[in-house]
Amino acid sequence: MRRPFSYGNIGGEVCQKERALSLRLKDLGEFGLIQRIQEGCLVKPERVLQGIGDDAAVLHAGGDHLLLASTDMLVEGIHFTLETATPFEIGYKAVAVNISDIAAMGGIPLEILISVGLYPDQEVEFVDELYRGMKTCCRLYGVNIIGGDTVASPRAVIVNVAILGRVEAGAVLYRSTARPGDVILVTGDLGASAAGLDILLNPKPVDAEVAARLRKRHFRPTPRVEETRAAVEAGGLTAADDISDGLAREIKEIASASGVGALLYGEQIPISPDVREAAAAYGKDPLDYALFGGEDFELLWTCRPEAVEEIRRAVAARCGTPVTVIGEIVPAAEGVNLRYQGCRRPLLKGGYTHFAQP
């Protein structure tokens, strides 16, 4: 038995608890932790339409628009290593992943605040390149850097971005509004970021041009802001999420939030030739990259069946980005399943989660 420890002296008596009974973060997991801290967070709930639990918070802003707010953190050793990523790439990605959250809500990104933790002996050129990456992404999407914080971090480089955006009151997209009968759509193609990460961490013989394209997909994702705006204007979208932790996890998030089930069509999930080549080199099914890899930052949408072709046409006309039908929303009792190679089976959880057991 582990030695008991004290939580403090309460009313003159020491409160003892066995360490063996303590709940650890690795047992709770990232999403369990989020659920645990949600209670009591809203002191003035009348100001908030959506708090914790979606890609961004949704706040009343007056007039015809709503304010969107989100934040994401990149930590050395978790999201990147200095051996495989340039400071430009780190900075660019830190901004892009936040813009993607605003896109997932149907919104337009506006301003960001940046907080960085840096080694005290970090070269100034590193910081210049880090911010050059951030500013490059900001220019592409019309985003202002309006403030932030800088601190010493002796053990890891940390980059945290907080973003503000706006969306018309009638256009905001949530994870919780999918309905049975909806069609599941995805922008672009999936699996490239995970394949690029494999190439970075465990190089194998892959064509140099293919490897370069996959590396770029990992470090320089394309937030689908204009795609969302085109789809919203076309009408018929019912729910949305961006694919940060893998398609399998994101469709489960939509299903859980909406109280529905889902069926994915494995053969219809879009996978590029580059990903297929990398999968062959690593002895993997390319569908594993698409379902469980994560960090593609494509958008996962649900829509009414009659809206599919108009959404696809509108997005192609404005952006040239393909939109693919990859499944359907079904009643909750049917669960979340994958139909692949003639079999229908429960979709494995998969995807990345912080604090998970190794």
- The answer on 276 and 319 residing in a single domain is yes
Give me the sign of the Cα torsion angle 184, 187, 188, 193. Answer: negative
- The answer on 137 and 269 residing in a single domain is no
Picking from 136, 168, 200, the residue at the C-terminal end of a domain is 168
CATH of the domain at 270: 3.90.650.10
Taking the C-alpha atoms of residue 20 and residue 23, their distance in angstroms, rounded to an integer, is 8
CATH of the domain at 60: 3.30.1330.10
- The answer on 203 and 160 residing in a single domain is no
Helix orientation angle between 225-234 and 308-319, rounded to the nearest 10 degrees: 140
Taking the C-alpha atoms of residue 293 and residue 248, their distance in angstroms, rounded to an integer, is 9
- The answer on 295 and 146 residing in a single domain is no
- The answer on 308 and 163 residing in a single domain is no
Report if residue 6 sits inside a domain: no
The CA distances from residue 24 to 28, 78, 163, 209, 355, in Å, are: 6, 19, 31, 44, 9
What's the number of domains the chain is made of?
2
> Which residues touch 349 (CB under 8 Å, ≥6 apart)?
248, 249, 252
Report if residue 178 sits inside a domain: no
Q: What pLDDT, on the 0 to 100 scale, is given for residue 340?
A: 94
- The answer on 300 and 248 residing in a single domain is yes
- The answer on 199 and 342 residing in a single domain is yes
Report if residue 197 sits inside a domain: yes
Picking from 133, 168, 203, the residue at the C-terminal end of a domain is 168
Picking from 168, 201, 220, the residue at the C-terminal end of a domain is 168
- The answer on 156 and 191 residing in a single domain is no
- The answer on 254 and 199 residing in a single domain is yes
- The answer on 337 and 191 residing in a single domain is yes
Q: Scanning the structure block, which residue is given the tokens 């939109």?
A: 323
Report if residue 358 sits inside a domain: no
Report if residue 38 sits inside a domain: yes
Report if residue 356 sits inside a domain: no
CB atoms near residue 358 (< 10 Å): 3
Specify burial of residue 124 (Cβ count, 10 A radius: 0-12, 13-18, 19+): exposed
Q: Is 218 helix (H, G, I), strand (E, B) or coil?
A: helix
- The answer on 191 and 65 residing in a single domain is no
The CA distances from residue 76 to 19, 22, 220, in Å, are: 30, 28, 17
User: Helix H segments across 188-341?
Assistant: 192-201, 208-219, 225-234, 247-258, 273-282, 286-292, 308-319
Report if residue 45 sits inside a domain: yes
Q: Which residue segment(s) compose the domain that 240 sits in?
A: 183-346
Report if residue 130 sits inside a domain: yes
- The answer on 308 and 206 residing in a single domain is yes
Q: What pLDDT, on the 0 to 100 scale, is given for residue 18?
A: 43
Q: What pLDDT, on the 0 to 100 scale, is given for residue 5?
A: 34
Taking the C-alpha atoms of residue 250 and residue 315, their distance in angstroms, rounded to an integer, is 21
Per-residue tens of pLDDT for the chain, all 358 residues: 333 333 334 344 444 444 445 777 776 666 666 667 666 665 567 667 676 666 688 888 877 899 999 999 999 998 899 999 999 999 999 999 999 999 999 999 999 999 999 999 999 999 999 999 999 999 999 999 999 999 999 999 999 999 999 999 989 999 999 999 999 999 999 999 999 999 999 999 999 999 999 999 999 999 999 999 999 999 999 999 999 999 999 999 999 999 999 999 999 999 999 999 999 999 999 999 999 999 999 999 999 999 999 999 999 999 999 999 999 999 999 999 999 999 999 998 764 443 344 4
